[in-house]
């Protein structure tokens, strides 16, 4: 992939906006995102530094995203712009965290597709509403999980990790016959720590 993004330079005080683009696979092209952000930059006269990467939403590490945050925390950007919420954030919680990070460093958060622009009152309102829905969704999910666990417990269902059954008498016979602790654990298909606890009990 041709990297259109320059190396982040913390000495470059001309950079005013950070544009984050993401696609999930190598065969996808972020051109639609790039053109939309370029049009926005031309309209408002912003100088843009591009942060582009091809990683899935499930990826734990996003190097270019982290690099963008370094610049944001260093005071380089007046705004962070993305094409759509799910390009920059993988969950509502992460989206709100990014918006809060922008606010903490006096930068605006802009998502073109959703029309969120925290430079405007309506943009801040939309983000607040989105956050309220996200919190409500988490609360509903939490309540459902608790209700499910209570129901399972009432039916006598065991919750948590399945307990490993250790054939203690067999283990003692093998040990008495001269087998090593390691061999006994392997023969019974249990961990050495599990076998130790079972024998001590």
Asked if residue 185 lies in contact with residue 195, where contact means CB atoms within 8 angstroms, the answer is yes
Which of these, 22, 138, 30, lies nearest to 85 by C-alpha position?
22
How, if at all, do strands 17-23 and 48-54 pair? parallel
Residue 142 annotated in active site: no
Question: 24, 56, 91, 122: which one is catalytic?
Answer: 24
Asked if residue 112 lies in contact with residue 48, where contact means CB atoms within 8 angstroms, the answer is no
Helix axis angle, 121-154 relative to 92-104, nearest 10°?
140
Place of tokens 């969120």: 116
Handedness of CA 71, 73, 74, 77 (dihedral sign): positive
* Residues designated as active site: 24
């Amino acid at each position: 992939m041709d990297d259109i993004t320059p190396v982040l330079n913390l000495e470059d005080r001309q950079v005013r906006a950070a544009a984050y683009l993401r696609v999930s696979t190598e065969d996808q092209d972020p051109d639609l995102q790039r053109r939309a952000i370029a049009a926005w930059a031309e309209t408002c006269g912003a100088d843009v530094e591009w942060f582009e990467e091809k990683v899935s939403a499930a990826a734990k590490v996003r190097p270019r995203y982290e690099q963008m945050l370094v610049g944001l925390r260093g005071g380089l950007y007046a705004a962070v712009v993305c094409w759509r919420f799910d390009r920059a954030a993988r969950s509502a919680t992460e989206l709100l965290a990014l918006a809060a990070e922008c606010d903490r460093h006096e930068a605006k958060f802009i998502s073109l597709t959703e029309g969120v622009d925290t430079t405007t009152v309506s943009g801040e309102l939309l983000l607040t509403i989105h956050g309220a829905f996200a919190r409500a969704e988490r609360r509903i999910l939490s309540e459902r999980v608790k209700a499910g666990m209570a129901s399972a417990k009432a039916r006598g269902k065991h919750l948590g990790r399945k307990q490993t059954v250790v054939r203690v008498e067999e283990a003692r016979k093998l040990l008495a016959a001269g087998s090593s602790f390691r061999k006994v654990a392997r023969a019974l298909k249990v961990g050495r720590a599990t076998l130790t606890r079972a024998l001590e009990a």
